[in-house]
Structure 1
Amino acid sequence: MDPPNTETPAIAEFIGTRDSFVVMRDPQLAKTGTQARAQLRTLPLLAEFELGTVAHPGIYDNGLRLVEYDMVANESLRENGVDNVEFPLVHYISQEMLTGELQDEEHTFDDQDIVRQLLRDRPSGVPYLLVTDTSTPTMPRYTKKPGKSFIDEFECTVVDHKALLKRYLQYNLDSDLPLSTTQNLYFHQISAHHKAAELNAGSIPELFDYTQIPADSPVWGPLYYLIREDVDNVLEDYSERIREALRSWTERGPTQQVANRMIDMLELVEFEEERLDDYRYRHQENE
């Protein structure tokens, strides 16, 4: 594990706390089945604070990463332990996964032992940020007293993702997207970027109009990712594949429109990176 950091981490400064253990509440993680989506919408905000090691259920990794990070699957932590986990660490886990109430045909998700060991073994002063769907997560095996959360045992700060995002946008970005449209910072960053270029930036589909956006827009990034990392699956059933790839990042909304615009551009450049480069730069110069 990494040595202690003697300086106050950036995320702690932004939150306004001296605690290195932070619980971030995002109710989106409580949704299951067909309602489960946008589980990683908090990650672009956390990535702004150099929190690059992320543990989450493998099912969240749908073949598209809107931000770069080093992934550790929660399943791997259960199987192999936490000795090699690097900090700072962001850990995604719902209350149902934590207590084993969530099950499927193959797995029972019970991560109480894992979270407790991470809390006890983590380096002093280095951030461990637990993203969950409640401000009072419980571990029934360890915290027996009714009404008590395990966070009462540790020095901890509890924050709400929506409130933090609203504050970040207020002081850092001029986005035309309302929070009711998305709580994913990635899309607000694009909106601010396009707005500065005097483009329409008030809806998510507008952000993915590849015929209008500037060459330095972050929206080009996912196309390169799909070409390099996922081209076989895209070619096999690209419409469904891209919709599924967007699932972990987007709330319910115009994902089909976004997928269609990405598909149209990939088909135009015949899924070739050099052709995409040519369109991105030369086409834009001729506009």
Structure 2
Amino acid sequence: MTDPPDSETSALADFIGTRDSFLVVRDSQLSKTGSQARAQLRSLPFLAQFGLRHVAHPGIYDNGLRLVEYDLVANENLRANGVRDVEFPLIHYVSQEMLTGELRDRESTFDDQDVVRRLLRERPEGIPYVLVTDTSTPRMPRHTQKPGKSFIDEFECTVTEYKGLLKRYLQYNLHSDLPLSSTQNLYFHQISAHHKQAGLKASSIPDLFDYTEIPADSPAWDPLYYLIREDVEQVLEDYSERIREALRSWTEWGPTQEIANSMLDALERVDFEETRLDNYRYRHQENI
């Protein structure tokens, strides 16, 4: 029997149980494209628990809402400007289709294999580079030309499954009422555990964003401040759709419209003003 993982450690490698600094985390959600493309960043709140704040991912994932704070460099910038100024430790989101250039949209072709190769060659020794992808055998055909070989055969690394990491973390560190079948985003499980401890309903994601009930110290308030801060122009037409799209990179499926409506109701109640949101948030708790 192994010891429970240390919830206080800042080293993802320690949690996984490896000495490797190049870590490949497989998350099948990155394979979704087109209308199915969503929740590509669901692993980020988990990875951020280990002190990882520098993140590279496609600009299309950045839908205007961050459930955790991080420093972003878009993959498009790395392709255009090189990797010299990239800061490590680094989390890098790249699907297999992005590695091979098979993923295209109307404006560009996603081909990140040269970028990943340079990062692997130039990163400081022993400093974590976490590649989040949708396969346990990522291929870069221009650089690894032997049939059946992936670049993890060339670089010393550890390959692990995101779902297994999250499941183990929840088992030892959180008492969430949400099943993994509802979401594999740690952020929602953290809110569920918080609300459960407060004696509130916490078994469905819409319950977590009932701003008429949730406690003032709930993490569910944070997205409202982010939306107020980032939407300076306050273009309110179709704002519910705007929030729903902002949630897209974080939620796999389900009632994103209900969450968006709850957020919009709260924002409209305070006229999109941060000071009034503060007053509503704390005055309401006194009246429960």
Does TM, normalized by the shorter one, top 0.5?
Answer: yes
- Structure 2: give runs of 5+ residues left out of the alignment: 1-8
Counterpart for residue 82 of structure 1: 83
Give me the CA root mean square deviation: 1.1
Tell me the secondary structure at the aligned position of residue 158 of structure 1: strand
Q: Distance in 2 between matches of 1:234 and 1:138?
A: 43
Query: Is 1:194 matched up with 2:195?
Result: yes
* d(CA) in 1 for partners of 2:105, 2:284: 49
Distance, in Å, in 2 between the alignment partners of 1:234 and 1:215 is 27
Partners in 1 of 2:236 and 2:272 — Cα distance? 9
Q: How many residues align?
A: 280
Stretch of structure 1 that moved more, 276-285 or 172-181:
276-285
Aligned to 1:57: 58
Whether contact under 8 Å (2:25, 2:161) holds in the other structure is: yes
Offset of residue 232 of structure 1? 2.9
Match of 2:222 in 1: 221
Give how far 1:9 is off: 6.2
Measured after TM superposition, the shift of residue 256 of structure 1 is: 0.5
CA displacement at 1:50 relative to structure 2: 0.6
Flag structure 1 segments of 5+ consecutive residues without an equivalent: 1-7
TM-score (norm 1): 0.96
Match of 1:177 in 2: 178
CA distance in 1, matches of 2:139, 2:30: 15
Matches of 2:199 and 2:210 in 1, distance apart? 14
Q: Is the 8 A contact 1:234 1:242 kept in 2?
A: no
What is the one-letter code of the residue matched to 1:257?
E
CA distance in 1, matches of 2:207, 2:232: 25
Query: What is aligned with 1:149?
Result: 150
Q: Distance in 2 between matches of 1:154 and 1:256?
A: 43
8 Å Cα contact 1:20/1:126 also seen in 2: yes
Secondary structure of the corresponding residue to residue 215 of structure 1: coil
CA contact (8 A) 2:177 2:203 kept: yes
Q: Which residue of 1 aligns with 2:20?
A: 19
- Secondary structure (helix, strand or coil) at the match of 2:237 reads helix
Which amino acid in structure 2 is aligned with residue 36 of structure 1? A
Judge which range, 226-235 or 30-39, deviates more.
226-235
**Secondary structure, aligned partner of 1:235:** coil
Q: CA deviation at 1:19?
A: 0.3
Is contact 1:29-1:132 (8 Å) kept?
A: yes
Q: How does 1:21-40 map to 2 (within 5 A)?
A: 21-40=22-41
Matched with 1:260 is 261
Indicate conservation of the 8 Å contact 1:62/1:244, yes or no.
yes
Cα distance in structure 1, aligned partners of 2:267 and 2:16:
40
Q: Which residue of 1 aligns with 2:93?
A: 92
Preserved CA contact (<8 Å) 2:10 2:51 = no
Instruction: Indicate the percent of aligned positions where both proteins have the same amino acid.
Output: 79
- Summarize deviations over 1:132-181 as a string: whole Å, max 9, x none: 00000001111111111111001010010000000000010000000000
Question: Aligned AA for 2:249?
Answer: S
How far did residue 231 of structure 1 move? 4.3
- Contact 1:234 1:241 (8 Å CA) reproduced: no
Q: Aligned AA for 1:251? A: E
Name the CA distance, whole Å, in 2 between partners of 1:78 and 1:130.
16
Q: Which amino acid aligns with 2:103?
A: L
Match of 1:119 in 2: 120
The match for 1:3 is: none
User: d(CA) in 2 for partners of 1:52 and 1:222?
Assistant: 18
Match of 1:283?
284
Shift of 1:267: 0.8
| Mapping for residues 242-253 of structure 1, pairs under 5 Å | 242-253=243-254
Give, as a single letter, the amino acid of the residue that structure 1 aligns with 2:222.
G
Measured against aligned partners, the alpha-carbon deviations of 1:27-73 in whole angstroms (never above 9, x if no partner) come to 10001000000000000000000110000000111000000000000
Letter in 1 for 2:115: I
Report the Cα distance in structure 1 between the residues aligned to 2:10 and 2:255, rounded to whole angstroms. 36
Distance 2:121 2:145 in 1: 19
